[in-house]
Amino acid sequence: MSIKYEDRLLTVSRIESNPFRDFDIYPIHPERVEELSVSYKDNDFGTIIPVRPHPTIRGVYQQACGHHRIAVMRETGKPLEILCRIADWSDTDMVSIMVRENANNYGNNPEALSDSVAAVCKLLSYWMFLSDSKDHLSVIHERCRDLLSSAKAFDTAKAQLVRDNQIGEPLIYAYLGGKGRSPLSREAIKNALANLNSTGKMVEIVGTQRTRVERELEAEAEAERKRAEIAARKAKEAAEELARWEAAEAARKERRKQELAEAKAMKESLAKAQAEARLAKEKADADREKRRMEALRKEQERIKAEQEALKTKRDAIEKRREQAEKARENAEKSTVEPFISKSAFGLFDNQNQFNAFRAAVAANKHLFPVDGQPDYIRKMMQTIASAEGDVSAKAITAYMRETDTKWQARQREMAQERQRELERHSKQAKVDRVMEEMQTSIGRCSAMFAELHQLLQDPELAAMAHAHPYGMNMRSYIEGLERVLPDLKRLIKLQSRSFEPAVIDSSVIN
């Protein structure tokens, strides 16, 4: 997985050393600082330095490597800033970068090798103290998944760490990548371990990590204890709240029980009179509702009959229109030869002109006049000959259409009639749709009002209906009905239909 980073100039005073770098093992050598200060020119202080934000101090960074370069800058005081690569490097990254730089630049330096091995031992001892088993170790850090071959190997390494304060060379070599990948050879690791053991640094490293783990575990246990105390306190509060609620609920139920008993006693004392009044009212309401529904049913049947009659009328009009259109098409397609006066035969220059004229007349019989054919033909031949020179069926047809004003007027009248017929059909379809939707809506409203009327007879149901949140929507709906009521009255007047008292009882309509 790639790490997002940012390259930026940082002030030297804001950069701290790698927390895994042990200056007791590998101190800053003045001769190396002097050597680097001579080799650097102007502001060229080598390659970019990897750093990470300090975990606890804002605005401060920890460098992974390049400690001698920073020492040169602090020594010379110039430049004040150096190019750094800022990223969220993990502890593993910080150790790996430091080990590789030591191996590449100071591979023959025993102090650098010991410092690299000591950094790896800090990580491994910390992880080993935290883990309880091989699987737990792989959970703590993914890189340790294949570090040990078995659970027994983990137990042996853990026992060696606890008993002897030692991290074995095979474990360090495997962590660094093993054969072909480790930047340090096995021999270099052994020598570094021997140096650390002889100086007592290994015991110090292991002891420091053991203390660190113990403190972290104690802090975690303390945090867990506090979480448990908070959870217990919340559970107790919840139980007390539940007990208060249950007591209040029991009191409420008891009050409700007493209220129901009192109401029952009151109802029983007035039961007979109320029952008789209610039965009488229900009977009257049922009779009135029956008459009203019968009137509505008859009105629906009347509207349905009118709609069927209107549909039949529209179908008849449409059928007649189709018949007229079909007759007109048949007339236009008729192949009967038109009447041509014999005196007109000699007015053409040749047989081809006559054939073209006869073909044009046959295709446009309604354009050719019966009376005055010779004069009409002479004028037509002169006009076409002077304009085009060639007398063709196309030219004859064009001439007849241009001169026949009656035909042109008829064409315009037929187009206007077709347009008016289309508009009438469109308007009639719109009226039919609106009236059908109104009829359906009126039927639904009638059934709904009947149920609402019955519901309002029960005081308890009526109170629930008045408090229902849909009341505001119904109010808006009724206000909309009041706005369109004049349009409905005008519609009834236009249709000359109204509910007469002689036909339907006014009390039913009201």
pLDDT for 508 beyond 50: no
pLDDT at site 410:
67
Distance from the Cα of residue 324 to its chain's centroid: 58
Cα separation, 422 vs 417, whole angstroms: 9
Predicted TM-score (pTM) of the model is 0.47
- What is d(CA 201, CA 193) in angstroms, rounded to the nearest whole number? 9
The pLDDT tens digits for 18-34 are: 999 998 888 988 888 88
The dihedral sign for the CA sequence 227, 232, 233, 235: positive
Cβ–Cβ under 8 Å, residues 111 and 28: no
Q: Which helix (H) or strand (E) holds 61?
A: strand 61-63
Beta strands in 196-331 (DSSP E): none
Name the 3-class secondary structure at 371.
coil
Range of lowest pLDDT (40-44, 244-248, 414-418): 40-44
**258-301 pLDDT, tens digit each:** 999 888 888 888 877 787 888 888 888 888 888 888 888 888 88
Whole-number Å distance between alpha carbons of 62 and 70: 12
pLDDT tens-digit profile of 424-442? 888 888 887 877 777 777 7
> Token pair of 103, please?
């191996």
Per the CB < 8 A criterion, the answer to whether 86 and 51 are in contact is yes
User: Which residues are 44's β-sheet partners?
Assistant: 41
DSSP three-state, residue 11: strand
What six digits make up the tokens of 331? 């007339």
pLDDT tens, residue by residue, 201-229: 899 999 998 999 999 899 989 999 999 99
Output the pLDDT for position 290. Answer: 87
**Element spanning 252, H or E:** helix 201-269
Residue 322 pLDDT exceeds 50: yes
Residues in contact with 2: Cβ distance below 8 Å, sequence separation at least 6, in sequence order: none
Percent of the chain clearing pLDDT 90 (strictly above): 17
pLDDT band at residue 86 using 50, 70 and 90 as cut-offs: very high
Contact 62, 26 (CB under 8 A): no
157 neighbors 144 (Cβ within 8 angstroms): no
* Residue 426 CB coordination number (10 Å): 10
The mean pLDDT value of the chain amounts to 81
Confidence band, pLDDT 50/70/90 cuts, at residue 162: confident
Q: What sign does the dihedral 88-92-96-99 (CA atoms) show?
A: positive
- Nearest CA to 436 out of 447, 428, 448, 446 is that of 428
Integer CA distances (angstroms), 206 to 107, 227, 458, in order: 25, 31, 86
- Where are any strands of DSSP class E within 12-48? 15-16
The structure tokens 């049947």 sit at 301
> What span, in angstroms and rounded, lies between the C-alpha atoms of 418 and 412?
10
- Cβ contact 37:75 at 8 Å: yes
Tokens of 255: 């009050």
Whole-number pLDDT of residue 223? 92
Tell me the C-alpha distance between 477 and 491, whole Å.
20
* pLDDT tens-digit map of 337-352: 566 777 777 787 777 7
How many angstroms separate the CA atoms of 472 and 470, rounded? 5
